[in-house]
Amino acid sequence: MKSQKGVKNKHNLTLTDLWVLCFSGAFSEVVLAEEKRTQKLVAIKCIPKKALEGKENSIENEIAVLHKIKHANIVSLEEIFESKSHLYLVMQLVSGGELFDRIIEKGFYTEKDASKLIQQILDAVKYLHDMGIVHRDLKPENLLYYSLEEDSKIMISDFGLSKIEDSGSVMSTACGTPGYVAPEVLAQKPYSKAVDCWSIGVIAYILLCGYPPFYDENDAKLFEQILKAEYEFDSPYWDDISDSAKDFIVHLMEKDHNVRYTCEQALQHPWIAGDTALDKNIHESVSAQIKKNFAKSKWKVSHTSSLSFIFLYS
């Protein structure tokens, strides 16, 4: 895109023609805005061009990905504006809060609730994979609720590390978040969309017990655990979890990516498509472990940064 005088989009409309800014954190890169004509609320990610120097390919890739996708469980890009100093991405607003907060707030939480969450994630990631897109950074922090409604859908956000698969090319860049990254990425081997399926398995594990399958303060030791796919269904935390749920996780957290379940296979598993997910309340145990293992100090720095995260990205 070429810079134009003021903040304009491809239709030569200015940002202030369409939007009224009604929130901005002191140092936030995301603002809440309202469309004048419809009063629709959106999130605008404001990116200083100076911050993009040397990273142009990264943002162009993210925009290319977001332009391609339209799914009910994926945060959408609605418009792009540009000024001499900034790039503005107008994003769908998701205001329902973060995954862990919502689970903790619930008084009742079951395997069936976890199954419904994972089903939505699988459906969205299958859509991405069918489009030739690999997310590469699936984790609970990138899963947001669309609204505050009790039955709100879950939304996948943050496509900063996503990749469009090119015919004949292979992915080999080591990227992602420690704890959720697949063994083949750590082994610095060429990898495929199967890395996302591994991450979904890790997320499912956490949703059922409240703690991660792999953990060590030392990254080298953590990576060693992941490379060996060493994890347990520890007692007493897994005593009340169904064998079907454990079988589902084992098929996703499979070390051999050639054997690992695809999203399509996972969607057909009885724990997702059938009635094997239990209705027993596991809220007390899971929420206690989430509070212990995912303290807000570790993953949410301040109220302002939290607002930015809820509205768009981490």
Q: Confidence band (pLDDT; 50, 70, 90) for 229?
A: very high
The answer to whether residues 193 and 172 belong to one domain is yes
Position 311 in a domain: no
Residue at token pair 């996780």: 249
The dihedral formed by the CA atoms of 122, 109, 305 and 55, expressed in degrees to the nearest 10: -10
pLDDT higher than threshold 70 for residue 308: no
The answer to whether residues 108 and 171 belong to one domain is yes
Distance between CA atoms of 75 and 73, rounded to whole angstroms? Answer: 7
pLDDT higher than threshold 50 for residue 215: yes
CATH code of residue 277: 1.10.510.10
pLDDT higher than threshold 70 for residue 269: yes
The answer to whether residues 67 and 104 belong to one domain is no
Position 5 in a domain: no
CA atoms within 13 A on the CB side of 195: 35
Average pLDDT over residues 124-141: 94
Please identify, among 92, 121, 137, the residue that sits at the C-terminal boundary of a domain.
Answer: 92
Please identify, among 69, 92, 115, the residue that sits at the C-terminal boundary of a domain.
Answer: 92
Nearest to 296 by CA among 22, 98, 44: 98
Q: How many domains, in total, are found in the chain?
A: 2
Residues 6+ apart with CB under 8 A from 280: 110, 111, 240
According to DSSP, the residues that pair with 133 across neighbouring strands are: 164
The answer to whether residues 123 and 237 belong to one domain is yes
User: Is the Cβ–Cβ distance between 152 and 134 less than 8 Å?
Assistant: no
The answer to whether residues 71 and 23 belong to one domain is yes
The answer to whether residues 195 and 290 belong to one domain is yes
Say which range, 11-20, 113-122, 181-190, has the weakest mean pLDDT.
11-20
Please identify, among 92, 123, 149, the residue that sits at the C-terminal boundary of a domain.
Answer: 92
Catalytic residue status for 137: yes
Say which range, 10-14, 125-129, 193-197, 289-293, has the weakest mean pLDDT.
10-14
The answer to whether residues 79 and 203 belong to one domain is no
**What's the pLDDT score for residue 306?**
29
**What's the pLDDT score for residue 158?**
85
Residue at token pair 């100090």: 297
Position 292 in a domain: yes
Q: Confidence band (pLDDT; 50, 70, 90) for 217?
A: confident
**Sheet harboring 19-24: ordered strands across?**
19-24, 30-35, 41-48, 86-92, 77-82
pLDDT higher than threshold 70 for residue 309: no
**What's the pLDDT score for residue 15?**
60
pLDDT higher than threshold 80 for residue 304: no
The answer to whether residues 145 and 242 belong to one domain is yes
The answer to whether residues 145 and 88 belong to one domain is no
The answer to whether residues 139 and 221 belong to one domain is yes
More confident residue, 243 or 36: 243
Q: Confidence band (pLDDT; 50, 70, 90) for 7?
A: low
pLDDT tens readout for residues 28-79: 378 888 888 888 889 898 888 887 777 777 788 888 899 999 999 999 999 9
User: Is the Cβ–Cβ distance between 143 and 99 less than 8 Å?
Assistant: yes
Say which range, 44-53, 74-83, 186-195, 289-298, has the weakest mean pLDDT.
289-298
The answer to whether residues 28 and 152 belong to one domain is no
Average pLDDT over residues 128-146: 93
The answer to whether residues 177 and 113 belong to one domain is yes
Q: Confidence band (pLDDT; 50, 70, 90) for 125?
A: very high
CATH code of residue 62: 3.30.200.20
Average pLDDT over residues 101-114: 95
Residue 27's φ and ψ, nearest 5 degrees, are -125, 20
Average pLDDT over residues 112-137: 96
pLDDT tens readout for residues 18-36: 556 554 443 337 888 888 8
Say which range, 184-188, 207-211, 259-263, 308-312, has the weakest mean pLDDT.
308-312
Average pLDDT over residues 230-254: 97
Position 200 in a domain: yes
Position 312 in a domain: no
Position 6 in a domain: no
Residue at token pair 């809220």: 283
Instruction: Select which of 137, 158, 243, 275 is catalytic.
Output: 137
Please provide the average confidence, as pLDDT, over all residues in the chain: 83
State the residue range of the domain holding 171: 99-303
